Structure 1
Amino acid sequence: MRSIHLFCLTAGMLSMAGASSSLAGPVDPDVQLPVRVANIEEASQRLNGWLAPGHSPSMVVSRPGATFLRLHFSTAYIPDGAWVELTNASGEVVDRFDADDVASGSTGEGYYAASVEGDTTTVTMRHDGSNAGRAFSLVVDSVDVGFASITSRAVIGADQRERPACVLATDATMYRRSQAVARVYGFGYVGTAWRVGAENRMLTNHHVIGNHQNPADFELWFGHEHAVCGGSNATTAGTKVRGGERLVGDAGRDFQLFALNAQEFSSGKVARYGYLGLDVTPLAVGQPIYIPQHGGGRPKQIARMDDAGRSCSIASSAGNMRRYACDTEGGSSGSPVIDRQSHRARVLHNSSDGGLNQGNAIEVIWPSIRPYFANGQVPSSSQ
């Protein structure tokens, strides 16, 4: 029988996770910190017993008024032929995992299930009937309880950001490249990350996922955007996957390169979103750019125009930093700043300064991440 048992987090560890563990360390006051969108509450809900034919035991986890729930399991003992389903208030299956999924996604301190939108989720133990009498045990020891975020913005003048569906009507290539950008969530905070190259590689800021953290505790949400250009606020379902191995990060240049969960990546779940290439040549002032982002943790927006109706462009350089008048806000941290001509990433956005937004140039990050790409070659974009 294949099963997993995970030990409980201590109260001190939970307190740390709920307070500031998503922040990687001291940061500049102008850095656009990940935006807090959830409180982490201790819990003690159990579902255990013995599997019986025709019976699928379940428990309900509810936090009235929550925008989403993300459950952490300290114990997930799942026999062969059994699996766990998480459904939302409408009965739709949002997450499904078995012992192998827990083994590949556990950090050694527990297992995070995918987040469920809304304030209620039902946890059900399913099985194929071949394992009658087998014991099972699930223990939820903490719940991330989402709330609507209120953020301080770094919008320059009026907010010119657009929904991807609006961009699609006039620039299909820009829309397609922006699909590689994902919302990243962990420990109550949201930021932005993106897939780089054809291999299993993701890039974000170090202040979003620090060197002391395990990306497996984070969730990446691809395709989270408004379904139409205007009017309705309905969003697409998208695809949620968990992080995997941390590869290399640096606080000074504020980057973190990591992988998605290997099992989920191999399944092809994110293949349809494509990936961005890099350009590591010096970036000139005046170069037109655009920034796909999840500011405030909301559905994806794309900044491509300034208040004068011109294409956003590189306004100035200061050391490793490149500055621009594209609109961003907290939660946009980790977004790619993309060359409007080559559609390759040129800057990793992280902050604002002196009325402009800014990030570290890819050419100063590339030497550190180069060993993690095949033959040390600069990755190209998907088609």
Structure 2
Amino acid sequence: MRYQPRLRNGKAAPLPWPLAMYRRLNHIAWPLEDGASRRMVLVERLLIFVGFIIFCEHNEVDMHYVLAYRNDIDKMLTGVPTYLVLFEMQIRGFQLAVTKDSFKQLLQKFYADMYVSQESEPVRFARIQRQMLGTRLNSVVYLMALFNFSLVPVQNVIYHRREMLYQQVYLFDNTKLQYYIPLICANYWVGIIITTMLFGELNILGELMMHLNARYELLARDLKQVANALLVHGHPAKIAAQYRCALIEILRRNAALNRFGQEMELEFSFRIFIMFAFSAALLCAMGFKAYTTDQLSVMYYCCDWEQVIYKSSNAQENVKLMKLVTMAIEINSRPFYLTGLKYFRVTLVAVLKIIQGAFSYFTFLTSMR
């Protein structure tokens, strides 16, 4: 009974294949349906608790590997990346497990109010799909890495070994069959959770940002169309008042989009902070998505209000309209950005700076060899 997002008309929302896999395979992160029975809720909580214990066990044996080879920097650094990814995913995944309800509410609002469907806006929908191709390709790469893990049991049979999927050191003989089978199954489960979490969050965040950006573009289009229609058909004595009423409606829609952006910020802020703190490379695929509202203040300044005032013969309405335009520009003077706990903005510049810092550490470690 995994939650199935629905459009405003009640139909099931068409999920891209990465989100469909995220929904099916990641019970840690994806919420249940609203009508789930109490028994189902208790079973899910039990599974999440068991999953947390499995992650803790993997954290321990991964750390044992790092400590066991602390005097051999080459072998130690072989285990550090997998340990960092594991630790990052445990924090992000189980933080999301605790806040599933807010995540579900965000999805409900998105698909009801923000989602740009193919039927209503085919051109913009197609452009969104093109913009998401990079993130889809990123998902394929993650799945290929997961598929590569399936070769380990084959190699174990061929070479008569019982190796784990990751670099791990156990405090007991994990090669005994009664231990090896459940431990290798746990390895695969952790790999599925981590992989789906990696590409699932990138895809859901990309979908939210791209459709929100399209809604802002539609807002600008409608504002332009209102001005053009009034300039052609509006009466000089009424045109300013009519335009002001239309502008108020546009601002209401603008405020709704801004509120949704703030809800996105609240939902993803902590996990974005963890992403930056643990692995800047994972954010490269989404660095281009932080540009959404840069042009909003310009949109209101360039909405032909001066032409409306030029044609209007009502001086009092002209003054009211100019004040409203000024307020609209002021409201949108600060662009919307996703941040990591207000500590930094998600921009390509921030990503590049962190990558440069990571490269400095790499050259430092190389010099120690």
TM-score normalized by the length of structure 1: 0.25
More helix by share: 2
More strand by share: 1
TM-score normalized by the length of structure 2: 0.26
Largest Rg, 1 or 2: 2
